Structure 1
Amino acid sequence: MMHRTLALLVKELKVLARDPHGLLVLFAMPAVFILVMSIALQDVFNDEGSVGSVQLRDDARDELSLSFREHLAGRLHLLPAEDAGTPGRDEILLILDDGFDQRLLALVEEETTAPALRLLAGNGVDGRSLQIVNGAIQMALGEALSDVEGDGEIGALLERLGRHAVEQQRPGRADPGAVVSSVQQSVPAWLVFGMFFVVIPLSTVLIGERQQGTLSRLRLTGVGPMHLLLSKVPAYLIVNLLQLMLMLAIGFWLVPLVGGEALSAPASALALLLVALSTGLAAIGFALLVGVIARTHMQATTVGGVFNIIFAAAGGIMVPRFVMADSMHAVAWLSPMGWALDGFLDAFLRTDALAVIALPITGLLAFGTVCLLLAMMILARRP
């Protein structure tokens, strides 16, 4: 059994080696996108308008809180908080508790350093967005105090408030100052896209073997559908890991040479590897399913390409998620590319990445397993 499995693996590696143009696309396409988009999106990620909506829960309902809300709405897009729970991954929740006016006035009079309001940020909110929101809050607080107290010296009010007015909380141990730059977004995003693009060469190879009778001859020798499909996994997983190393190298060294920011080292190299392996398995499982279902090379190319574009558009690959409308954020969780991107960003930005990547990894492995099982069932039923 081991000898047969090894022989099948060698066969897959030889097939890959005979298709240098297909391999070139898998490496060149994401590399070009990383270089282009890292430069093109620099202004988008540096733009203060990149902050999405801020959810506001006002339990105080006093004169000072109403004035504060009016001034803050002039700087940020405010939405009423849907519930009292913790914010979602890409959400910012601002809470004004009962007694907000008394605590804020006590801060101005330097009678206390207890915060007047709470700012809760999800794990996906980067440090630059938090800095922008904090700055808007500070100015709105000063303007509200000036309105209510009749003191026109906003600068003096802000100086007395200092940095004590806002209690900033973030779930887990994500670095509050961690910033998602254009290259930090582009490298994992287009790496994921490139990894899923193995659907084109893998599915076409599978269709070619079926049309040439290779699969039928292998099955006559006692090789079952499970071994036929599983033998392709290690070879293409090697390709995915090579893609990972090349795209990281481009982010670290090539992007800065063309005028972009250098990619920061991941907070957890082990988490990065686990997410890469899970993404590769999900991509290969999907490619095998397409290869088994499609009857022709054209069908495989069309179906695989269309689904990849849909996954990429919904998952925040082509357009950064913070640019999307709020209604689209939930759609991202329907895309396996979205899960993979979240996992990669966690591995780059979070010190507790190994604890928080469990959800995206579970989703990716479940997706890949379901695709692989369906492919085996369909292949087993075919003559």
Structure 2
Amino acid sequence: MMHKFLMSVYKEILLLKRDFGGLVILFVMPLVLIVTITLIQDSTFKTVSDTKIPVLLVDNDHGDISKTVKENLNQSGSFEIVTEINSQKITESIARDEVFKGKYQLAIVIPEKLSSDLQLKVNQNVNKILSNFGMEDSTKVSSKNIEILPKEVKLYFDPATQLTFKNGVKSAIDKMISQIENKSIYATFQDQLGEGEAPIFDQKSFISFKEIVPKVDNKEIIPNSVQHNVPAWTLFAIFFVVVPLSINIVKEKSQGTLVRLITNPVPYAIVILGKTATYLIICMIQFWLMVAVGVYLFPYLGLPVLDINGKMLLMSTVALFSGLAAIGFGILLGTIAKTQEQSAPFGATSVVILAAIGGVWVPVFAMPKIMQYASHISPMNWGLNAFYDVLLRNGGFVEILPEIFLLLLFFIIATTIAIGYDKKKRAV
């Protein structure tokens, strides 16, 4: 029995050696993908965080509010304020045209008399409150009867700008204006009630936000593009063995190789076991190559290093069981398919679909509810969660055990169905 198994493995190795194109797909394509996608995503991250984005600013106010907005934009380090184009002062119409043509991503238009009208409105409100308490200062010039219309700070966005960027900018501008309004209210009360120059109101923020992230050796673990892309595209590469594996099984059936093997006699389970062992070795080589790229090549490309200290054994375990799930799916597809024209397109398409719903391309939390539920049926989602447990959540073997069990169960069910289907077909 052992001899038959070893011969089956040897046969699979010979088939792979003859298929140079298949080997290129299995080993070279995933490496190109992981480098390309990680470079693109890391460059996008750096563009947002490190490189200053030019922002057109039309200041029709020339008051405290516009001054504060400029200071906040400069201090953020993310924006470069542009007030002139070709030595010409920017107007609202120029800013709108430039942004809508895609030359700039954002323009901020501050309306006239925003600072002075805000102060008048605050004075009205404060005077109204104080008069209700019988504390209105009769020496102050009353502004009760002056009608002050609401003001709009206009934001022009390039139509191609992402929604997340728009929401981030709107939130930041709104926060700035709110802080200015609050300070104006405090200052006006201070002016009406205060004695001397000592402040009677504490204007420091009472509520703040603190991000708590996991720590190792008192160092914060900050996830990066490499920690997300290496496991994600490793799984994509591992599951792509479905295509050559299913094609080889169909070839064996169409060329009569499988019939000759079984008449030796060799049980179909031994044939499957030989394929499983061979392709499992391929999956592990793919995994080790991807990890080597993350550890040794990425630093030379200016990307973060993949930290695998004390994690390699658990990561290899996840890769092993992910490989089993992929092989089980490939065996099932190759057993059921009648022609290569059926197995190849269906195998490639199904892998892409499993990757899409499994969170390889788009995070599961960003999907619609129905797709979040659907993601739970994807073996790639199980493998990806297990990798994240190890790399990002510092999980141990117990934490990845549920995902490993699901991957193993998927392999057992798929191969059992394949063996049962083949047995029934030959009986007929």
Show the counterpart of 1:240.
283
Show the counterpart of 2:16.
16
- CA shift digits 1:298-339 (9 cap, x unpaired): 110111111101100001112234543465433321211111
State the distance in 2 between where 1:39 and 1:305 align: 25
CA gap of 1:176–1:380, structure 2 versus 1, over 3 A, is: farther
CA deviation after TM superposition for structure 1 residue 176, in Å = 9.5
Among 203, 210, 219, the residue aligned to 1:153:
203
Show the counterpart of 2:257.
214
Show the counterpart of 1:340.
383
Root-mean-square deviation (Å): 3.1
State the distance in 2 between where 1:232 and 1:340 align: 21
Aligned 1:37-116 pairs, distance under 5 A: 37-42=37-42
Tell me, what secondary structure is at the counterpart of 1:351?
Answer: coil
Judge conservation of contact 1:288–1:371 (CA < 8 Å) in 2: yes
Judge conservation of contact 1:45–1:181 (CA < 8 Å) in 2: no
State the distance in 2 between where 1:372 and 1:190 align: 25
Judge conservation of contact 2:227–2:392 (CA < 8 Å) in 1: no
Matching of residue 310 in structure 1 with residue 360 in structure 2: no
Matching of residue 194 in structure 1 with residue 230 in structure 2: no
The aligned amino acid for 1:189 is A
Show the counterpart of 1:105.
none
- CA shift digits 1:47-83 (9 cap, x unpaired): 68xxxxxxxxxxxxxxxxxxxxxxxxxxxxxxxxxxx
CA gap of 1:230–1:253, structure 2 versus 1, over 3 A, is: same
The aligned amino acid for 2:5 is T
CA deviation after TM superposition for structure 1 residue 288, in Å = 0.3
Matching of residue 356 in structure 1 with residue 399 in structure 2: yes
- CA shift digits 1:122-171 (9 cap, x unpaired): xxxxxxxxxx9xxx9xx9xx98xx89xx756134x35xx796xx9x698x
Judge conservation of contact 2:247–2:334 (CA < 8 Å) in 1: yes
Mean alpha-carbon deviation: is it higher for 326-335 or for 291-300? Answer: 326-335
- CA shift digits 1:167-211 (9 cap, x unpaired): x698xx9x9943321111111111101100111111111111111
Q: TM-score, normalised by structure 1?
A: 0.67
Judge conservation of contact 2:235–2:380 (CA < 8 Å) in 1: yes
CA deviation after TM superposition for structure 1 residue 356, in Å = 0.7
Show the counterpart of 1:26.
26
State the distance in 2 between where 1:266 and 1:378 align: 44
The aligned amino acid for 1:191 is T
CA deviation after TM superposition for structure 1 residue 249, in Å = 1.0
State the distance in 2 between where 1:277 and 1:236 align: 11
State the distance in 1 between where 2:29 and 2:328 align: 21
State the distance in 2 between where 1:162 and 1:29 align: 43
Larger radius of gyration: 2
State the distance in 2 between where 1:253 and 1:17 align: 28
Judge conservation of contact 2:213–2:220 (CA < 8 Å) in 1: no
Tell me, what secondary structure is at the counterpart of 1:263?
Answer: coil
Judge conservation of contact 1:275–1:340 (CA < 8 Å) in 2: yes
Judge conservation of contact 1:266–1:348 (CA < 8 Å) in 2: no
Gaps of 5+ in 2: 50-167, 187-200
State the distance in 1 between where 2:41 and 2:353 align: 21
- CA shift digits 1:94-133 (9 cap, x unpaired): xxxxxxxxxxxxxxxxxxxxxxxxxxxxxxxxxxxxxx9x
Show the counterpart of 2:340.
297
CA gap of 1:362–1:353, structure 2 versus 1, over 3 A, is: same
Query: Which structure has more RCO (C-alpha within 8 Å, separation ≥ 6)?
Result: 1
**Matched length:** 283
Matching of residue 261 in structure 1 with residue 304 in structure 2: yes
- CA shift digits 1:233-264 (9 cap, x unpaired): 11100100100111111111222222322222
State the distance in 2 between where 1:309 and 1:36 align: 18
CA deviation after TM superposition for structure 1 residue 343, in Å = 1.0
Tell me, what secondary structure is at the counterpart of 1:154?
Answer: coil
The aligned amino acid for 1:214 is T
Q: TM-score, normalised by structure 2?
A: 0.60
State the distance in 2 between where 1:152 and 1:316 align: 47
State the distance in 2 between where 1:371 and 1:233 align: 12
State the distance in 2 between where 1:369 and 1:375 align: 10
Judge conservation of contact 1:196–1:283 (CA < 8 Å) in 2: yes
State the distance in 1 between where 2:361 and 2:309 align: 22
Matching of residue 184 in structure 1 with residue 234 in structure 2: no
Matching of residue 365 in structure 1 with residue 415 in structure 2: no
State the distance in 2 between where 1:269 and 1:306 align: 31
CA gap of 1:38–1:205, structure 2 versus 1, over 3 A, is: same
CA deviation after TM superposition for structure 1 residue 45, in Å = 5.3
Judge conservation of contact 2:213–2:222 (CA < 8 Å) in 1: no
- CA shift digits 1:277-304 (9 cap, x unpaired): 1000000000000101111111101111
The aligned amino acid for 2:275 is K
Show the counterpart of 1:36.
36
